[in-house]
Amino acid sequence: MMLRALAVVASLSGATATFASCPAPELGHVDIYPTANVLPENLLRIYVYYPRPMAFGEGFANVRLLDAEGVVVEGAFLPTREELWSPDRRRLTLLLDPGRIKTGLIASETLGPVLMVGQAYTFEVPALAVDRNDCPLGTTTTFQFTVGHADVTPPNPSEWTLNGPTAGTREPLDVGLGTAHDHLSLAFRLRVIDADGELVPGRIDLGAAEANWIFTPHLPWTARPYTLNVEETLEDLAGNRPGVLFDRPAVQSAIPWQDKLPFTPRS
Amino acid sequence: MTALKPLAVLGAIALSTGSAAADMPQSFGILEFGPDNTLFVADSTAGAIHAYTLPADGTAPEQDAAFNLLDVDQLVADALGATGRLVYSDLAVHPVTREAYASVTATADSADVGAVVAVSRDGTARVLDLEEMPSTKFMLDAPADASVTFWRDIPAPSLTITDLDFANGELFVSGVSTGEFASTLRRVPYPFADASTSTSIEIYHAAHNQNETRAPIRAMAVVDIDGTATAVAAYTCTPLVTIPVDALEDGAHVTGKTIAELGYGNTPLDVISFQAANFQGEVSSYVLVVNREMDADLISMENLTSAAAGPGLSEPVPYLGATSGVQTVPLPLSGVVHIADQDGQFLLALRRDLDTGAMELVSFRKGSFFRLSDFISEYNFPDYAYADDEMSTGTRMFQNLLKADEGFPGQIRQ
C-alpha cells in the first residue's frame, strides 16, 4: 500500500511523462451493474467493469459510495483479503456488507443498513483510480440511484413470461423476469436446451434494468419443444435464489420451484 | 427441484503434465504441503490447484530454532529481481527442512510477477524453479461454453480460493465466488482424479436473530476431533464453525455447527492446528485463529472437542462486539499476516511491523506466543537485578530462553 502510494505521488509530482504515456482520459469510463435507477435496500452487489486491467490491492480505495449530501458512506463494502477481481482484472465485485443487510443482525441493528429507503446515493469511481501500469483512469464515473424497499421475494421462474418465438426464424426468446436480476447470473445461470437435451448456441442480451433475458439463437428455432433451464444458484439483486431468501436458511426453508420452463416455437 | 447440476462439479478435470513449463500458475495464492514432497499452489485466476513434487534432497535441521528476519521484503525482492510492492498470499513450512515457503506477487511492474520463494533461517531466499518440477493440475471450474455469447464481455464467475487444507488423502478447498454469494467446500482427492465433491454449507450466525447464512469460509483447518475428521472454519465477523468431513457429500447441503462468535468487524486470516509441549513435556493440541482486526484466538483441543460435541450456539449474542461460545485465549499476534506451524517449539509468521511497514519473518515460541525483543521494559536495564526467589528465577530463565531464540545471546543474564 505504502509503495503504491509513493509511486502515485511520484508520478503526480514530477513525471508528467508517466501520465503522457497513459491512455487518454476519455478512455477511462467504467461500466457499473446493476443499472436500474431504483435499487433495493438489501442490494447485495455492485460490479465495476474497467476499461483495462487494474492494480491489485487498490479495489476498495478506488470506489466510493456517497449519500445525498456527498458524504462518503463508511463501511459500505465488505472488506475481503482477496479482492474479487475477474481473472482479467477488469471486473471488480463489491459486496455490500452482508452483516448490514441481513435482518436481525446486530451489525444491521447497530450500524443500520448501508442503504436507507427513499434516499439518493452516488456510486463513484474516481479519475485517480490506477490501473496496473499506475496510470489513472482520468475520468470519474458516477452512478446515481435511489433506494426502494427491500427485495424479499425470491426469483420465481413460474411467474416469468416467455414471448414464444416463431419456428424457422431467429426471433429472440424474450423472457420477462418481472424484477431486476443479477447480470452475472443472467449470463451464466440460464440456458436454452433443445429436445435432445443439447445446449442451444446463441447470444444473450438483457433488457432495461436487467429485468428481461433475451436470447437469440445462432440457428433458426425448430418447431420442436425447448426448455429454459434455471440453475439453483441464480440470484436477484439481493442475493435471493429461487425458493430461498438471502437471509433465510436454504436447508430448512427451500420451497419447490420450477427449474425447467418449457416452450415450443410457434409454427 | 434440482436444477442443472453445477457446471463446476461436472466440469472439474484433472490434468497431468510431466513438466509444468507451459503451464505455470497465473496467480500465486494459498500454499499447502502434502505427502511425498508435494507442494500445492492455489491459482485463483485460472481456477486451478497445482501440485508440485519438490526435490527430496532436503535435510532436517539439527534442532528447532527461530526465524528472526526483520526485513524479508528485501530478501524476497532480491530473489525475485523485482522492484515495488510485494503481496504475500500465504506462508507454509516445509515439513522436512522447516524452511519458510511464501507465495508472493510483485505488483508494481506492468505485469505481475508471482512466485513461491523459499526462505531459510539464515536469510537465504530462492525462487522455486517450478517449471522444472514434475507437476499435476486440477481445474476447479470448467470453462464456460463458448457457444453462448453475451451483450458485452462478461468473464464467468470464478472462485477465489481462500484456503486449502490437506488431510487424509484429500485437499479441502474453500473459496469466495466473484458471482454467487455462496459457501462451498470442495473435497479434491490427491493424486488428482477427474472428480471432486462439492458441498454447500450454511451456518447459524449467532450475531443473528435465528437467521442463517451461506457466507463463504475465510480460513479453515481439518482436525481430528475425538476421532472424527472435522473442518474448523472461520467466517468474516467471526463465527467459528465445525463440520464433520463425512457430511461433505457431493451436492449435499450441510449446516455447520457454530461453536463460537469471536467478534464483529473482523476477518480471520488463518486457522491452523498444532501441537505444543508444556514444561513438563506433556503434548497438547491447539487450534489457532489469527485475525486481521482482533487478537488471535487460541483454543485448546479439549475445549474445541467439548464445544463440537455440544449443541452449538443458538442464541444471538447480546450486543455488538460481544463474543460467545468456546473458551479462547487471546494472543498478542497483532500485525501477523500469515502464520504456520513451524516445528515442535515454534510457530512461524509473516508479520507487518506497524511502525515501519516492514514485513518480518519471525518465529514465536509455542507457549509464550510473543517476542521478548518487541518490548523494552525494566528488565532491559543493565542495573536491573532479578530477585533470588523462585518466581524471578523462572522469569529470568524464560527470558534467557527467548533472548537466545531471538538472536540476543549476549543479553542472557546469569
Cβ burial, residue B229 (10 Å; 0-12/13-18/19+): middle
Distance CA B147, CA A142 (A): 34
Q: pLDDT per position in chain A (267 positions), as tens?
A: 333 333 333 333 333 334 568 999 999 999 999 999 999 999 999 999 999 998 876 667 789 999 999 999 888 887 766 788 888 889 999 988 766 655 555 555 566 678 999 999 999 999 999 888 889 999 999 999 999 999 989 999 999 999 989 999 999 999 999 999 999 999 999 999 999 999 999 999 999 999 999 999 999 999 999 999 999 889 999 999 998 888 776 655 567 899 999 999 998
The answer to whether the Cβ–Cβ distance between B269 and A81 falls below 8 Å is: yes
CA-nearest of B218, B226, B221, B238 to B287 is B221
Q: What is the DSSP letter of A114?
A: S
Residue A163 identity: N
Indicate if the alpha-carbon torsion angle A221, A226, A228, A232 is positive or negative.
negative
Cis peptide before B191 (omega within 30 of 0): yes
How far is C-alpha B347 from the geometric centre of its chain's CA atoms? 12
Q: What value does the CA radius of gyration of chain A take, rounded to a whole number of Å? A: 21
**pLDDT of amino acid A12:** 36
The answer to whether the Cβ–Cβ distance between A188 and B84 falls below 8 Å is: no
Cell of B341: 506451524
Judge contact between B104 and B117, C-beta under 8 A.
yes
The answer to whether the Cβ–Cβ distance between A248 and B212 falls below 8 Å is: yes
Q: Are strands B113-119 and B217-225 parallel, antiparallel or unpaired?
A: unpaired
Alpha helices (H) along B38-134: 72-80
Judge contact between B14 and B3, C-beta under 8 A.
no
Judge contact between A98 and B73, C-beta under 8 A.
no
In DSSP terms, B253 is beta-bridged to B200
What residues have CB less than 8 Å from A53, skipping those under 6 apart?
Answer: A88, A89, A90, A131, A132
- Residues 168-197 of chain A with CB under 8 A from chain B are 182-185, 187-188, 191
Judge contact between A88 and A53, C-beta under 8 A.
yes
The answer to whether the Cβ–Cβ distance between A81 and B292 falls below 8 Å is: yes
The answer to whether the Cβ–Cβ distance between B151 and A206 falls below 8 Å is: yes
Q: Which chain B residues have a beta carbon less than 8 Å from that of A99?
A: 207, 236-237, 264
B255 interface with A at CB cutoff 8 Å: yes
The answer to whether the Cβ–Cβ distance between B144 and A188 falls below 8 Å is: yes
The residue behind cell 431467429 is A170
Distance CA B365, CA B345 (A): 6
Cβ burial, residue A18 (10 Å; 0-12/13-18/19+): middle
Judge contact between B3 and A231, C-beta under 8 A.
yes
> Could you tell me the end-to-end alpha-carbon distance of chain A, in angstroms, rounded to an integer?
62
Residue A154 identity: P
In the sheet with B113-119, reading across from the earlier edge strand, the strands are B86-93, B100-106, B113-119, B125-127
* Angle, CA of A22, A26 and A32, to the nearest 5°: 105
Residue of A4, A33, A86, A135 to mutate for B, most B C-beta atoms under 10 A:
A86
CATH topology of domain B10-365: Neuraminidase (2.120.10)
Q: Which residues of chain B have pLDDT under 50?
A: 1-22, 208, 210
E-assigned strand segments in B61-158: 68-69, 86-93, 100-106, 113-119, 125-127, 135-139, 148-150
A115 interface with B at CB cutoff 8 Å: no
Distance CA B325, CA B311 (A): 11
Report how far apart, in Å, the C-alpha atoms of B328 and of each of B127, B184, B268, B285 are.
38, 27, 15, 14
Cell of A181: 436480476
What residues have CB less than 8 Å from B36, skipping those under 6 apart?
Answer: B53
**pLDDT of amino acid B16:** 41
Count of CB atoms situated within 10 Å of the CB of A168: 13
Question: How distant is the Cα of A36 from the closest Cα of chain B, in angstroms?
Answer: 17
Q: What is the DSSP letter of B145?
A: P
3-state secondary structure of A100: helix
Distance CA A175, CA A163 (A): 7
Residue of B2, B4, B30, B339 to mutate for A, most A C-beta atoms under 10 A:
B4
Rounded to a whole number, what is the largest CA-CA distance in chain A? 69
Backbone conformation region of residue A16, classed left if phi is above 0, alpha if psi is from -120 to 50, else beta = alpha
Count of CB atoms situated within 10 Å of the CB of B300: 16
CA dihedral B364, B369, B373, B375 (to 10 degrees): 160
Residues of chain B with CATH 2.120.10: 10-365
Q: Are strands A141-148 and A161-162 parallel, antiparallel or unpaired?
A: unpaired
Cβ burial, residue B162 (10 Å; 0-12/13-18/19+): buried
In the sheet with A120-125, reading across from the earlier edge strand, the strands are A38-40, A141-148, A120-125, A64-66
Cβ burial, residue B68 (10 Å; 0-12/13-18/19+): middle
Distance CA A162, CA B192 (A): 43
Distance CA B187, CA B185 (A): 7
**pLDDT of amino acid B9:** 31
CA-nearest of B89, B75, B59 to B127 is B75
How far is C-alpha B31 from the geometric centre of its chain's CA atoms? 8
The answer to whether the Cβ–Cβ distance between A99 and B211 falls below 8 Å is: no
Distance CA B233, CA B242 (A): 6
Q: Which chain B residues have a beta carbon less than 8 Å from that of A50?
A: none
**pLDDT of amino acid A250:** 61
Residue of A29, A105, A213, A241 to mutate for B, most B C-beta atoms under 10 A:
A105
Question: How distant is the Cα of B223 from the closest Cα of chain A, in angstroms?
Answer: 24
CA dihedral B2, B8, B9, B14 (to 10 degrees): 170
Q: Which chain A residues have a beta carbon less than 8 Å from that of B236?
A: 78, 80, 99
**pLDDT of amino acid A112:** 67
